[in-house]
Homo-oligomer: A and B are copies of this chain.
Amino acid sequence: MGILSPDEIESLSRFALRLAEAAGDVILPRFTQPPEVMEKPGGEKGFDPVTEADREAESVMRRMISEAFPDHGISGEEMEERKSASPFRWVLDPLDGTRAFIYGLPTWMTLVALLYEDRPVIGVARQPLLDQSWLGMESGAWKMDAKGRYPLSTRPPRPLAETLAGTTLPEIYRDARERHVLEVMRTRTRMLRHDADAWFYVLVATGRIDIALDTRLAPYDIAALIPIVRGAGGVVTDWDGRPDPLGGQVIAASCPAVLDEALSLMQLPQGPDSERDD
């Protein structure tokens, strides 16, 4: 990122916020009515509803990017990837938490990431019903609302037994490693909650909880959340400790100490039964 000046970063982050706001303007009016639900065939998560709001919000964001940065690449949840020779790529999830949206719960969000050479450098999460956005980049992370912009920082280190953790969809923890990790989180943390999607990662960044983790994520599920967690002082790796995972098995933690204790327990115990998957 040495190539980009602080002014460029600031300008790109303001644009990322505008994208998320435009998506929210499209989605919010549709939230008050039960959405028309379409099911995607063959989705790995089994039930992956997509609403009209989702598609239209992605269209709006793609149009804005094409006008402002015609050479940038774009990947979204809903539409074909726009390939590009540019090192910049926008990764969009107009409506993360579609299940929450369908249920009428306010825990869905719009996620916008800007990648530079496949590394997420700017991330925005926004919940328009609450008029709250969260922005992250290398220099820090902030919460934004109508009243102002507040810097974020993660919780201080503490033993795993005192941590609060969150994961969505415990029912997709199916293979031996996944079931082991879910059991570790259930028994070794202070509390594990489910079904808040991207919000759990934002809660790590805002210093409310210590751990967010998920399995079988797509790039658009996590790309925007990495700069937010990292900008607030947290760490994001895959379940084997490799940084900045664009999907798959992901864990975000408040600090390296919490991450390390979690990762050490999350390894499958070695033994004759360790590959058992029944």
B-binding residues in A (CB < 8 A) = 34, 47, 99-100, 102-107, 129-130, 155, 164, 166, 170-171, 186, 190-191, 193-196, 199, 203, 206-209
Give Cα A143–Cα B34 distance, bound, in whole angstroms. 15
Q: Hey, which chain B residues are within 8 Å of A208, CB to CB?
A: 34, 102-104
Q: Which residue of B lies closest to A104 (CB)?
A: B208
Give Cα A195–Cα B190 distance, bound, in whole angstroms. 16
Cross-chain contact B203 with A105 (CB below 8 angstroms): yes
Cross-chain contact A203 with B103 (CB below 8 angstroms): yes
Give Cα A177–Cα B193 distance, bound, in whole angstroms. 23
CB distance from A142 to the nearest CB of B (A): 15
Q: Hey, which chain B residues are within 8 Å of A195, CB to CB?
A: 193-196
* Residue of B130, B166, B186 touching A103 (CB-CB under 8 A): B166
Give Cα A186–Cα B172 distance, bound, in whole angstroms. 12
Cross-chain contact B207 with A34 (CB below 8 angstroms): yes
Give Cα A193–Cα B105 distance, bound, in whole angstroms. 11
Cross-chain contact B104 with A107 (CB below 8 angstroms): no
Cross-chain contact A104 with B194 (CB below 8 angstroms): no
5 pairs, CB–CB < 8 Å, chain A vs chain B? A105-B107, A105-B199, A106-B130, A193-B194, A194-B194
Q: Hey, which chain B residues are within 8 Å of A104, CB to CB?
A: 203, 206, 208-209
| Known contacts A105-B203, A107-B106, A203-B105; A171 and B191 CB within 8 A of each other | no
6 tightest Cβ-Cβ pairs between the two chains A and B: A104-B208, A194-B194, A104-B203, A193-B195, A194-B195, A106-B106
Interface centre among A104, A130, A171, A186 (most CB of B within 10 A): A104
Q: Hey, which chain B residues are within 8 Å of A171, CB to CB?
A: 186
Q: Which residue of B lies closest to A39 (CB)?
A: B190
Cross-chain contact B194 with A103 (CB below 8 angstroms): no
Q: Which residue of B lies closest to A166 (CB)?
A: B103
CB distance from A231 to the nearest CB of B (A): 17
CB distance from A214 to the nearest CB of B (A): 15
